[in-house]
């Protein structure tokens, strides 16, 4: 159930314009002019509209594959992927866990050496299946992790390829790698959809099957939602249209901070929505800024830049304050109640279509990511310089302290309608997340600004597009934690001598993104943490 508790200004005008211009029916007809005059990066990106129907034909194959994996005694599945290839599987794993007898699914989307080591310590590699997921087949993080784990498993198994599975587009370089290395299986996805719109494609469904989710039933719910969202006789009754117009109308009137409050049962959904919204709308100098994981405060705390969306399951309340008071205070509020966590497939489709509609209202192409390449290019330049000289350029990171961060933000003229993005080049962990939450709390109370946090390089495939291409109201703080024990990256899955390490790679990505932010005129400062999260967390309470 989706209910607009308090509509934003301009909602009626947006709905009328959608109706007058037949936008919904044109979307379903694959009319690229809904977004831009040119079909580039649109006409070949609309396959997600039909995924709930087309993927039914893959359900039996996925079920048979998952049964074979269980029969062969695999106790863990390690998914290597970034952005759209990892966030939907992670949401599924956090929501459902593994069914009895099914392997545990772990997602590795970090190149921090400590993160790679931590995952290895959790796994018995001798009973681990590695799922390599990349649409392009060229994602540097995913391929680097593939080479590392292929080398590790090669030391344990005569035919290491049988411990690996690929999910990619037809003709991608990963297809050739999988063939030459003798991968157990290769799943070729529909190429006519982008990564962040791939939750109901093989990128989401193969991991779902391995977790023991009934893929046919999962898709059945999505098909029912798809049919409901195709109705255009009364747009005000169409849930995707209602949600999309609220998102678009709010952003047009300056309410560009989409603040998401989710119940613990479906908490993983929020990170998936964050990527979908940020990467789809944050371009051409505008964008919607998803705010995930920020405590909900009293309505009077907020400026007029917020839209609140509550997502709960029936009979549950979110881990946040009730939002009725926020609606009474004049803030737009949307309430989504899921009958069961199984409704995750409904939400995948609902948010995909709503985001496409919001993109139309904002006048952007929701399917491209023009600024993502900037950080990649800058990172490649840094890697090339390293290979030529054997050293990395200095990142000019300052010693971390709470006072220094607050002072840097003051110098950036941070105001209530800005947002502060913390970029954590840290090994993902509960301790580092707690540290980041405390830092966000202090920044929020000091400046009244919205805050976000993302682990690097993961966020580069999620909110990174918004940071460079969005409305320019972001303030950026890099948090860097060097490793004491680096890990070399083989130059191929065949184990050639390494020319780079994971520590070098993540440092290059931090440098590259810093330069890309500055190229885009974004204020950014870098801070290096000298100690682990326990000590750093204590520092978050210091004065300043």
* Mean pLDDT computed over 514-520: 94
Domain boundary among 362, 396, 424: 362
Domain identity same for 526 and 378:
yes
Comparing CA positions, the residue from 385, 394, 397, 423 lying closest to residue 500 is 385
* Mean pLDDT computed over 202-229: 97
Residue 540 above 50 pLDDT?
no
SS3 161: helix
Residue 542 above 70 pLDDT?
no
Domain identity same for 408 and 512:
yes
Number of domain units in the chain: 3
Question: Greater confidence, 160 or 543?
Answer: 160
Of 114-123, 168-177, 365-374, 381-390, where does mean pLDDT reach its minimum?
Answer: 381-390
Phi then psi dihedrals of residue 530, to 5 deg: -90, -20
* Mean pLDDT computed over 261-288: 95
- What is the structure's pLDDT at 289? 98
Of 23-27, 385-389, 480-484, where does mean pLDDT reach its minimum?
Answer: 385-389
With respect to residue 526, please indicate whether it lies within any of the assigned structural domains: yes
* Mean pLDDT computed over 239-254: 97
* Mean pLDDT computed over 357-365: 98
Domain boundary among 362, 382, 406: 362
- What is the structure's pLDDT at 71? 97
Task: Report residue 541's pLDDT band, with 50, 70 and 90 as the boundaries.
Answer: very low
* Mean pLDDT computed over 422-436: 96
Comparing CA positions, the residue from 449, 445, 453, 442 lying closest to residue 415 is 449
Domain identity same for 267 and 187:
no
Domain boundary among 362, 396, 413: 362
With respect to residue 312, please indicate whether it lies within any of the assigned structural domains: yes
Domain identity same for 395 and 486:
yes
Domain identity same for 463 and 393:
yes
Rg value, the chain, Cα: 22
Domain identity same for 380 and 351:
no
- What is the structure's pLDDT at 321? 52
Task: Supply the CATH number for residue 123's domain.
Answer: 3.40.50.10490
With respect to residue 29, please indicate whether it lies within any of the assigned structural domains: no
Mean pLDDT of the chain: 93
Domain identity same for 204 and 55:
yes
* Mean pLDDT computed over 193-201: 97
Q: How do residues 63-122 score in pLDDT, each as one tens digit?
A: 999 999 999 999 999 999 999 999 999 999 999 999 999 999 999 999 999 999 999 999
With respect to residue 77, please indicate whether it lies within any of the assigned structural domains: yes
- What is the structure's pLDDT at 293? 95
Evaluate the CA torsion angle 500, 503, 509, 512 in order and state its sign.
negative
Residue 536 above 50 pLDDT?
no
DSSP 309-361: EEEEETT---SS--SHHHHHTT--EEEEEESSGGGHHHHHHHHHHHHHHHHHH
Rounded-to-10 torsion of CA 250, 91, 205, 289: 20
Residue 498 above 60 pLDDT?
yes
| 3 sits in which H/E element | strand 2-6
CA distance 166 to 184: 8
Domain identity same for 269 and 213:
no
Q: How do residues 446-488 score in pLDDT, each as one tens digit?
A: 999 999 999 999 999 999 999 999 999 999 999 999 887 899 9
With respect to residue 35, please indicate whether it lies within any of the assigned structural domains: no
Domain identity same for 388 and 526:
yes
* pTM exceeds 0.85: yes
Domain identity same for 344 and 428:
no
Domain identity same for 354 and 377:
no
Of 267-276, 371-380, 472-481, 523-532, where does mean pLDDT reach its minimum?
Answer: 371-380
Range of the domain at 414: 372-539
With respect to residue 226, please indicate whether it lies within any of the assigned structural domains: no
Q: Check residue 98 and report its DSSP letter.
A: P
Domain identity same for 143 and 244:
no
| DSSP H helices in 393-532 | 402-411, 430-447, 464-469, 502-519
Is cis: bond before 457, omega within 30 of 0?
Answer: yes
Evaluate the CA torsion angle 204, 466, 112, 136 in order and state its sign.
positive
- What is the structure's pLDDT at 391? 84
Task: Report residue 535's pLDDT band, with 50, 70 and 90 as the boundaries.
Answer: very low
* Mean pLDDT computed over 138-158: 95
With respect to residue 39, please indicate whether it lies within any of the assigned structural domains: no
With respect to residue 423, please indicate whether it lies within any of the assigned structural domains: yes
- What is the structure's pLDDT at 534? 64
């Amino acid at each position: 159930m989706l209910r607009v508790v308090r509509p934003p200004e301009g909602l009626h005008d947006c709905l009328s314009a959608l109706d007058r211009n037949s936008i919904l029916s044109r979307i379903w007809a694959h009319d690229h002019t809904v977004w831009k005059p040119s079909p580039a990066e649109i006409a070949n990106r609309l396959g997600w509209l039909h995924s709930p129907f087309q993927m039914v034909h893959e359900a039996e194959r996925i079920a048979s594959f998952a049964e074979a994996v269980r029969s062969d005694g695999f106790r863990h599945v390690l998914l290597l992927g970034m952005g759209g290839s990892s966030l939907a599987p992670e949401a599924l794993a956090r929501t459902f866990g593994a069914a009895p007898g099914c392997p545990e699914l772990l997602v590795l989307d970090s190149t921090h050496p400590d993160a790679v080591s931590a995952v290895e310590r959790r796994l018995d590699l001798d009973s681990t299946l590695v799922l390599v997921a990349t649409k392009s087949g060229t994602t540097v993080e995913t391929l680097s992790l593939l080479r590392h784990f292929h080398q590790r498993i090669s030391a344990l198994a005569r035919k290491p390829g049988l411990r690996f599975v690929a999910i990619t587009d037809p003709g991608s370089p990963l297809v050739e790698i999988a063939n030459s290395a003798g991968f157990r299986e290769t799943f070729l996805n529909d190429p006519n959809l982008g990564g962040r719109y791939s939750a109901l494609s093989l990128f989401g469904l193969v991991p779902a099957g391995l977790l023991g989710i009934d893929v046919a039933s999962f898709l059945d719910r999505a098909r029912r939602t798809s049919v409901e969202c195709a109705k255009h006789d009364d747009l005000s009754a169409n849930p995707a249209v209602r949600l999309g117009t609220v998102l678009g109308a709010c952003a047009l009137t300056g309410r560009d901070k989409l603040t998401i409050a989710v119940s613990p049962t479906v908490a993983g959904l929020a990170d998936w929505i964050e990527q979908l919204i940020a990467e789809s709308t944050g371009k051409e100098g505008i964008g919607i800024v998803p705010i995930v994981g920020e405590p909900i405060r009293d309505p009077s705390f907020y400026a007029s830049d917020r839209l609140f969306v509550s997502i709960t399951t029936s009979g549950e309340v979110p881990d946040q304050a009730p939002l009725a008071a926020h609606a009474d205070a004049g803030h737009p509020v949307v309430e989504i109640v899921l009958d069961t966590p199984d409704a995750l497939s409904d939400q995948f489709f609902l948010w995909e279509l709503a985001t496409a509609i919001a993109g139309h209202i904002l006048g952007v192409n929701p399917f491209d990511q023009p600024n993502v390449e900037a950080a990649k290019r800058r990172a490649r330049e840094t890697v090339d310089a390293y290979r030529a000289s054997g050293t990395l350029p200095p990142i000019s990171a300052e010693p971390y302290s709470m006072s220094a961060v607050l002072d840097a933000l003051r110098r950036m003229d941070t105001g209530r309608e800005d947002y502060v993005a913390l970029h954590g080049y840290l090994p993902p962990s509960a301790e580092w997340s707690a540290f980041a939450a405390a830092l966000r709390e202090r920044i929020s109370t000091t400046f009244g600004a919205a805050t976000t946090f993302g682990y690097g390089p993961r966020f580069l495939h999620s909110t990174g597009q918004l940071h460079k291409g969005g409305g320019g109201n972001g303030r950026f703080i890099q948090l860097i934690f060097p490793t004491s024990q680096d890990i070399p990256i083989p130059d191929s899955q065949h184990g050639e001598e390494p020319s780079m390490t994971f520590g070098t790679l993540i440092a290059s990505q931090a440098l590259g993104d810093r330069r890309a932010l500055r190229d885009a005129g974004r204020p950014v400062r870098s801070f290096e943490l000298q100690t682990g999260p326990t000590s750093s967390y204590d520092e978050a309470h210091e004065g300043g």
